[in-house]
Structures are given as C-alpha cells and as structure tokens.
C-alpha cells in the first residue's frame, strides 16, 4: 500500500498547465473583486453631487461595503473549510456581482449603503478563499510569486474601474460603472467546472477518486492504484474547531500580530482607494486627472505585488514585508508635499506599491504561515479583523476632509498606520510558520526530491 502525502506532492510539483489554470481563474476572480471594490471610490464625487451628501455621509456610504467585507471575510472564509472552497467562492461571486449592480439602480443613500453592504459580504469573503486556493496548489519554490501574481488582479480591477470610470461616468453617469459589475455571474458554471476543490476537504469527505485525479494533474508522473492511501501531515488535517488551532502550537501571539498588520494595512488601502480622487480634486486637479492618479496608484500596486512576491521567494518574506510597510509610511507622507506633477505621479505609484501591493504580500505571508487545514480560517479571520480598519478609514478621513485641514495632515493620518504595521510584522514569530516547519523538514531529510516524492510505500 502506498501512503501518499498530498501536501508534499503539491509543494514539490513542477509548474504545469494545471497550476496555470488555477492561477488564471483565481486571478480573474480577483480582478472582478478589485473592480467591485474600487468602483465606489471612482464614482464618489459624482455620487456625492447627485445624492447631495457631505463628506462624512459619503464616508459612511463607502464604509457600508467594508462593513459587509468584515463579516464576509470571517463567515465565508471560515465556512469554506466546511462546505468546500469552490462553493464558498461561487457564493461570494454571486453576492458581489449582483448587489454591486443593484447599487447602481439606487438613488437613495440608505438603499445604496444596504446594497453595498450585501456586495461587501462577497467582496470580503472571496479574498481569503482564493488566497488559500492559490497557496494550496502552488509549488513551494514559486508560492509567493504565484499568490502575489494572482492577487495583482486586485490592482488590475482597480485600474479597470478607473479606465471605465473616465470613459463612462461623464457620458452615461456613475450608475453605468456599477451595472457593468454584473458580468461575472455568467462565469459561475465555468468556475465550478474548472476550479479544483481543496484537498483537505476532499480527504475529509472521503472523495478519493477526485483527489486521485487532482494529484495526477499536480504530478503528471503519478500513476494512481486501487491501494493508494492519501494522508496529510498532522497539522494539516481538517479539524472541527479550526479557529482554536490559530492559537495553538505557539501561533497565538503571531496571529494577533497578523491581525494588527491587516488592520493597519487595510486602513491605508481603503483610505486611499476611497478618498484619493476627492483629495486630488480638492487640491485643484480635474476629475480626469484625479482618476489618472487612481490608475497610477493601482498600476504601482500591481508592480509592488509582483515585485514583492518575487523578492519574498528569494529573500525572507517577513523582512520584505517589513520593508514595504516602511516604504508606505514614507511615500504616503510625501503625497501631501508640494512637488512637480511628474514627481507626484511617481510617489502615487510608490504609495500603491507599498499599500495595495503590501496588502497582497501580507495575504501571501498569512497563507504560508498557517497549515493547510486552517488556512482559509486563518486568512479569513485576519482579513475580517482587518476590515474594521477598512471600515474606519473612509469615515475618519471623511471627517478630516470635512474639517478642511491642510492636505499634508490628511496624508500623515493615512501614513501613521504603516509604522504600526511594520512593528507588528517585525514581531511575528516566523519559526512557528507552517512554511518554516516544511523547510526544516526538508533540510533534515536533505538531498534532492525525486519525482513522486510525496509517496511512501508500505
């Protein structure tokens, strides 16, 4: 009888067409997710004008989606370990696509907020699930690169919202960019067919034929037999109480540090996503120019995500992340300093790389920190706690904008959380990470791993 460690096979597989397919679908889902999230900030000046709301009210309207994201990240991130990751992802897509489109049909601030809350459930819930999916199926050598490359779709979605916003809002009104968000619904049947299920979930359900098919696609050299027995390391076995395990095996303090880092990072991300257009417009830039800053912010985010992931696969991911938070503190502070427009675009790009891009690397680090069976739960709870920072950001910055403070003071308020996040990341105990444990096991075993290295014969 062969004992097959599916975790080890996934870790040591060579990148192939199957990995590319998972990357494609996860990235596409994140592009739609990023679009749905960014669209409110893109349309905010037009929404404020049409509905006649002040900056504080507008901050609460934007935060309604972020409030939904907090519940979505916690509930739909956790439930995926029970109902399966594919169905959790599909439920999220349906929620954020349908209700973002419905928000475009409202003319009342309360109805707008209610529909954005429901959309937020899906926007928040899909993130931890696709990160867990990509982490689980990526070869260890390129894991950070694949996760951050996938998550750079978030920035692509933001850029898509900015480009469509420039073309559609002035011609057809702000509603048009919301209605366009319904498109992903038609892809749900293809996602259910193409996206593989989580391996620990299949093992827990006893669905061994599906598991054999997935392992054969991960490692084309694998030939399944009737006597194969699938297994996971003890830390990766599905549990009935996964939340408790976030605080076991010395992970408790680091879990709290992840929560702080997520809170601070998401505060910065949503402060910029929600108010950059309005802040730049109030500084004297036209709507078109202000939207170009958003485009630059998200382009920088894409570069930061991919570059950060590339560095994280070659250097220590913890200290790469720490450095990115330090860069965020510096670049956001500089946004309030008078400078030539060309230099300002460069700083905006750096701010995008070190905030949105850093958020993506933070997700990648959390995905590597937790064992496979509690990965969705760990990322989901960290993201959910972080959403409280995302909720506060538009309200706090909206209140500051309403006080008509100098531009630099607004940006300093956004930069302070970067310093706190850097300190939290520095205190994470990397020795307790699942990825560190896997690496130490590999060192103890030493020697190159042959094809089918996750298979033991008994």
- Joined together, the tokens standing for residue 393 give 């950001």
Asked if residues 322 and 422 have their Cβ atoms less than 8 Å apart, the reply is yes
Q: What are phi and psi of 5, to 5 degrees?
A: -90, 100
Of 338, 356, 339, give the one whose Cα is nearest residue 296. Answer: 356
Asked whether residue 432 is assigned to any structural domain, the reply reads yes
Number of domains making up the chain: 1
The whole-angstrom separation of Cα 91 and Cα 129 is 11
Per-residue confidence (pLDDT) for residue 227, from 0 to 100: 64
Question: What is the per-residue pLDDT for 448?
Answer: 38
CATH number for the domain spanning 67: value is 1.20.1250.20
Confirm whether 449 is domain-assigned. no
For the chain, residues with pLDDT lower than 50 are 235-241, 436-458
pLDDT at 423: 92
Those residues whose C-beta lies under 8 Å from the C-beta of residue 141, and which sit 6 or more positions away, are 313
Report how far residue 390's alpha carbon sits from residue 388's, in angstroms, rounded to the nearest whole number.
Answer: 5
Taking the chain, what is the end-to-end CA distance rounded to the nearest angstrom?
5
Q: Write out the residue range of the structural domain in which residue 45 sits.
A: 2-442
Please give the pLDDT value at position 244. Answer: 67
Nearest to 325 by CA among 369, 281, 355: 355
- Please give the Cα distance from 224 to 9 (Å, whole number): 13
Residue 317 lies in a domain: yes
Q: Are 28 and 160 in contact (CB under 8 A)?
A: no
User: Is residue 451 one of the residues assigned to a domain?
Assistant: no
Q: Are 218 and 137 in contact (CB under 8 A)?
A: yes
Average pLDDT for the chain: 78
| 216 within some domain | yes
How high is the pLDDT of residue 446?
38
Q: Please, are residues 300 and 316 in contact by the beta-carbon 8 Å criterion? A: no
What is the pLDDT at residue 77? 66
Q: Is residue 447 in a domain?
A: no
Residue 4's DSSP bridge partners are: 230, 455
Structure confidence at residue 327 (pLDDT): 92
Structural domain includes residue 453? no
Task: Give the HSE-up count for residue 232: Cα atoms under 13 Å, Cβ half-sphere.
Answer: 21
Please indicate, yes or no, if residue 243 is contained in any of the structural domains. Answer: yes
CB contact set of 111 (below 8 Å; sequence gap of 6+): none
Q: What is the pLDDT of residue 420?
A: 94
Q: Please tell me the predicted confidence (pLDDT) of residue 297.
A: 82
């Amino acid at each position: 009888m062969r004992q097959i460690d599916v975790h080890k096979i996934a870790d040591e597989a060579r990148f192939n067409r199957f990995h590319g397919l998972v990357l494609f679908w996860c990235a596409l889902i994140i592009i739609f997710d990023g679009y749905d999230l960014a669209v409110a900030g893109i349309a905010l000046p037009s929404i404020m004008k049409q509905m006649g709301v002040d900056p504080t009210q507008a901050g609460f309207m934007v935060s309604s989606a972020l409030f939904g994201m907090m519940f979505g990240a916690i509930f739909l991130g956790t439930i995926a370990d029970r109902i399966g990751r594919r169905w959790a992802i599909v439920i999220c897509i349906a929620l954020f696509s349908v209700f973002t489109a419905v928000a475009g049909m409202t003319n009342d601030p309360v109805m707008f907020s209610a529909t954005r809350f429901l959309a937020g459930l899906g926007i928040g819930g899909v993130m931890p699930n696709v990160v867990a999916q990509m982490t689980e199926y990526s070869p260890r050598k390129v894991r950070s690169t694949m996760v951050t490359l996938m998550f750079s779709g978030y920035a692509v979605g933001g850029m898509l919202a900015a480009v469509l916003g420039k073309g559609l809002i002035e011609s057809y009104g702000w509603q048009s960019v919301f209605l366009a968000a319904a498109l992903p619904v038609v892809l749900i049947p293809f996602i259910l067919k193409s996206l593989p299920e989580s391996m620990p979930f299949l093992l827990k359900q006893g669905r061994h034929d599906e598991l054999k098919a997935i392992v054969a696609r991960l490692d084309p050299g694998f030939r399944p037999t009737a006597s194969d027995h699938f297994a996971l390391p003890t830390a990766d076995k599905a549990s009935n109480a996964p939340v408790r395990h976030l605080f076991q095996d010395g992970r408790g303090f680091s879990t709290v540090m992840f929560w702080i880092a997520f809170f601070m990072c998401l505060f910065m991300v949503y402060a910029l996503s929600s108010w950059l257009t309005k802040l730049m417009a109030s500084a004297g830039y036209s709507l078109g120019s202000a939207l170009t800053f958003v485009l630059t912010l998200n382009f920088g985010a894409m570069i930061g995500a991919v570059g950060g992931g590339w560095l994280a696969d070659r250097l220590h991911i913890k200290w790469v992340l720490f450095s990115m938070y330090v860069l965020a503190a510096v670049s956001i502070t500089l946004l309030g300093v008078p400078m030539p427009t060309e230099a300002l675009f460069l700083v905006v790009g750096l701010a995008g790389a070190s905030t949105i891009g850093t958020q993506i690397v933070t997700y990648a680090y959390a995905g590597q920190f937790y064992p496979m069976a509690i990965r969705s739960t760990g990322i989901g709870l960290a993201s959910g706690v972080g959403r409280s920072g995302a909720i506060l950001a538009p309200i706090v910055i909206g209140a500051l904008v309403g006080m008509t403070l100098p531009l630099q003071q607004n940006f300093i308020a956004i930069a302070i959380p970067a310093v706190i996040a850097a300190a939290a990341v520095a205190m994470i105990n990397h020795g307790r990470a699942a990825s560190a444990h896997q690496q130490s096991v590999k060192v103890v075993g030493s020697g190159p791993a042959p094809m089918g290295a996750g298979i033991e014969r008994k």
